[in-house]
Structure 1
């Protein structure tokens, strides 16, 4: 009952359009005041501070910076050209190009919203200029860029690792195959709708164009190899990888002469705003998470599940249902911060692997990015596509279904996600 009351209050505050961080913090503060436990508020500064100071979290601002540098530095154009040369001629044409370019760009930027706002504009313009309906092209862009946080590097994986203390490197490896499956599912959906909706395709690229586009994109394509290779060999940690990829994007931007020195202050300020916004949510959510533990909510949920003789499969279905519903109202990182204090002990009790749980929850959060009223990718794409959020969400339904099917597969066949981390890092 207590759990229902707390989360109901939070959802009401979100529905009246309070900022997410304010709604989360106000719910926790209001509960302690209502229960005449104002003395507990002395923990507020400490919990907010501790929620944003982990070493692993240093990766987040640098991955945000890397994405912004790549979007400004002309790297996105080279990746899109390479993807077009590879798959532009198959059924679905530029829709397939958008998915493949997003999969490639995912290996350099860990944010779906950043990918949608940067690479997405190039993808959308190319499709609309070639006769694609605006809502459909916007839906392809929004959906394709949700691959970003699943294929490493990934800001959600960094955050999940910081909260659960599991290996971020293992999470990165675990995201590869599910991310590829997401891309395949989306490409299949586009191929199915290509003929009924009359989607044009490009002429097959000549050998010369394929060679030239590969040459132009070679150094950006090398970035994921450097990141993952360095982590696997122990040359640097995932946190240090974020710094390295930022420097790499900076060097490429200047080398290609697409990034100007005078543009750096605006890029840095934009990255700072995005980082502080996320850290504010993390700080408030950490106090909210402490509230749930203080009130014994995780133990109460565990006892209830044990009383129902719940199975691991039943618990996984419960987690899927809860995260899908919360994804309609909460930003993805906030879902991690609010639910993981409850989900972690449950997962351990029922033998659910925390690495696989991280992948499943990240996939579910990507569905949340495509569902109104708080679908972050929908708003990012609508800011330049101007199609309206609800028509855009409707066009996203086939892709949401594809992501959901992949999520269910990963949830109940964990060996798929765990194959690479178990193969490359068995001793960790």
Structure 2
């Protein structure tokens, strides 16, 4: 395993993209161990042959389609109606928009980049500091990665053989609580700094109903998916195909904003997105196979259990490790590599795999929003032109908010599990 670790760290240190660092270091390991190269290739190709993985390209395409149908700008208007009267009006809009976009994009980085381009310039014009703007736009992506349909939860479910339907339901309450937590943090900071409201008075009931009606097609989308999966109308993969058809109907027949040129751009962007995801999946599978053949999961489990057998201390060690790794590697690769290592450890200690999956997904995603190499962080502050030290300082209150919520989620698992248990049974 020394070859694997050394080459992997070296490649990352030299700035090689994480997918290639994972794949090439795995190849060197297999060569050093004398494993036939045909087996390596077979393992890499076999990772793409899962029927459940069809959900990923479908949901990516559906998310890109919905972003071009006019849904995003309507959601911004609706978010402004709901939160415009609060301190830090535009920042509040960004948090609520992330919650609403969770049912559409499923990608934290995509959501943060989109909001940085759309809301970032307006927030700066209204006096918000660059660091505060970059921090809240990036941290809002945590909500997107938790509220269904989350691409990360799909990959976790496929890799760990955990019910995707249960994971989707389990993400709703934590996503809502993170939305509330971040909104409270924004309000406290904004009141102290004098970041003003967007509107003088709260919206009337009639204005809220009008906003709901304008966005009904986006709001009911995740509800349709969850109900369809629960009652066996379609599998998660078929739900992805349904999502594509749904997005096309909304874009062409309802809002009539999806033109041929926009459709071609959506297909181009989706091809790029999927190429990135699939190369990570393929290379991560080879890396995972190397870890298994080197008995890393078993060795790591024994090492952790030698330190303590207390289930919550073990969970703390695992979650701390996941968070630190998330600072250096992209979330998709982390989900695919770390799930087979840590899921058996925590389930052996009595933790529900759905409960662990939500905690795991939040921390893996948050790693991408922290220095030194957080992908979501870089996407946001590079668009806004914000120095990393300024971003880091402004992100601390939001990180503390999320960590406190994670402690609550860990100690009280029913917060996460009561919805899936109510719908699917215990």
Q: Secondary structure at the match of 1:370?
A: coil
**Equivalent-residue separation in structure 2 for 1:134 and 1:360 (angstroms):** 29
* Contact 1:67-1:115 at 8 Å conserved across structures: no
CA distance in 1, matches of 2:217, 2:380: 27
Find out whether 1:259 has 2:255 as its counterpart.
no
User: 2: CA distance between counterparts of 1:222 and 1:340?
Assistant: 31
Is the aligned partner of 1:47 residue 2:43? yes
Provide the residue aligned with 2:333 in structure 1: 334
- Secondary structure of the 2:105 match is coil
Q: Report the CA distance between 1:285 and its aligned residue.
A: 0.9
What displacement does 1:309 show? 4.4
Runs of 4+ in 1 over 6 A off after TM superposition: none
| Per-residue deviation, residues 99-126 of structure 1 (Å, max 9, x unmatched) | 1121111122211112123344333234
TM-score for both structures, normalised by structure 2: 0.94
**Which residue number corresponds to residue 29 of structure 1?**
27
- Aligned with 2:171: secondary structure? helix
Secondary structure at the aligned position of 1:288 is classed as helix
Separation of aligned partners in 1, 2:6 and 2:405: 30
Give the SS at the match of 2:140: helix
Gap change, CA 1:211 and 1:168, over 3 Å in 2: closer
Moved more, 154-163 or 391-400: 391-400
> Residue by residue, what CA displacement relative to the aligned partner does 1:349-398 show, whole Å, maximum 9, x if unpaired?
22221111111110101211211232122222234322234432332221
Maintained 8 Å contact 2:109/2:141: yes
- Cα distance, 1:406 vs structure 2: 1.7
Name which of structure 1's ranges 212-221 and 75-84 shifts more when overlaid on structure 2. Answer: 212-221
Q: Is the 8 A contact 1:367 1:404 kept in 2?
A: no
What is aligned with 1:57?
53
Q: CA deviation at 1:81?
A: 0.7
Pick the aligned partner of 1:83 from 75, 79, 83: 79
Distance in 1 between the 2:38 and 2:15 partners? 28
TM-aligned CA deviation for residue 270 of structure 1: 0.8
Cα distance in 1, alignment partners of residues 304 and 380 from structure 2: 40
- 2:102 aligns to what? 106
RMSD: 1.9
Q: Which residue of 2 aligns with 1:213?
A: 211
| Kept after mapping to 2: 8 A contact 1:146/1:369 | no
Cα deviation for residue 206 of structure 1 reads: 4.9
Deviations 1:190-230 (A, max 9, x none): 11101221111022255354343333222222212222222
- CA shift for structure 1 position 263: 1.7
2:364 pairs with 1:400: no
Instruction: Give the whole-Å Cα distance in 2 for the aligned partners of 1:198 and 1:307.
Output: 52
Counterparts of 1:394 and 1:7, CA distance in 2: 32
How many angstroms does 1:48 deviate by?
0.7
Q: Structure 1 stretches of 5 or more lacking a match?
A: none
SS in 1 for 2:287: helix
Secondary structure of 1:118's aligned partner? helix
Q: TM-score normalized by structure 1?
A: 0.93
Find the counterpart in structure 1 of residue 68 from structure 2: 72
How does 1:272-311 map onto structure 2 within 5 Å? 272-311=271-310
- Deviates most, 313-322 or 389-398: 389-398
Contact 2:169 2:419 in 1 (8 A): yes
Equivalent pair of 2:103/2:218 in contact (CA under 8 Å): no
Match of 1:415 in 2: 414
Identify the residue that residue 14 of structure 1 maps to in structure 2: 12
